[in-house]
Amino acid sequence: MEEYLHNLEKNLEALEMKVEALKAMINELLKRLSKEEDRMLPKVINWISIAQEIVSKASGLLDKSISERYKLSKYDDLSKISESTHHYSEDVRLTLEAVETHKSMGVFRVLVDSTHQLHVCET
C-alpha cells in the first residue's frame, strides 16, 4: 500500500514539474509567433493545441490530488482501493507519459531571416 501511494506521489510530483516545463514551451512558442499569427505553420498550431489539452487534463488531475491522496490514506490494503482511485492513478501515469512524449515532439527553433519572415523548423 505504501509503495502504491509512493508511486502516485512520485508521479504527481513529476507531472506537476513536467507540466510547468510544457507550459513554458507553449508560452515561448506563442510569444515568438504571436506577431506572425497569420503565418503560423499548421504543425506548430497543432502542437500547441494538443499541448494545451494535455496541460488542461493535467491541471484537473493535479487539482484532484489532495482529495485522492486523502482517499488513499484511508486504506491499509491495496486490494480495497476503489476503482475510481485506481482510475485516477492510471490517468496520472498516462498523462505524465503524454506530457513527456509531447514535449519531445515539440522542439521547434524559430528563425527570422533578413527579410523578417518567420520560419519554424523542427529540431
16 in Cβ contact with 80 (< 8 Å): no
Question: pLDDT (tens digit, 9 = 90+) per residue, 48-64?
Answer: 899 999 999 999 999 99
What residue ranges do the domains of the chain occupy? 2-122
The reported pLDDT for the residue numbered 64 is 94
With residue 3 as reference, give the H or E element that holds it.
helix 2-33
CATH number among 3.30.1340, 1.10.10, 3.30.2010, 1.20.1270, domain 2-122: 1.20.1270
Cell of 2: 505504501
Question: pLDDT (tens digit, 9 = 90+) per residue, 85-119?
Answer: 889 999 999 999 999 999 888 766 554 444 445 55
Residue 35 has pLDDT above 70, yes or no: no
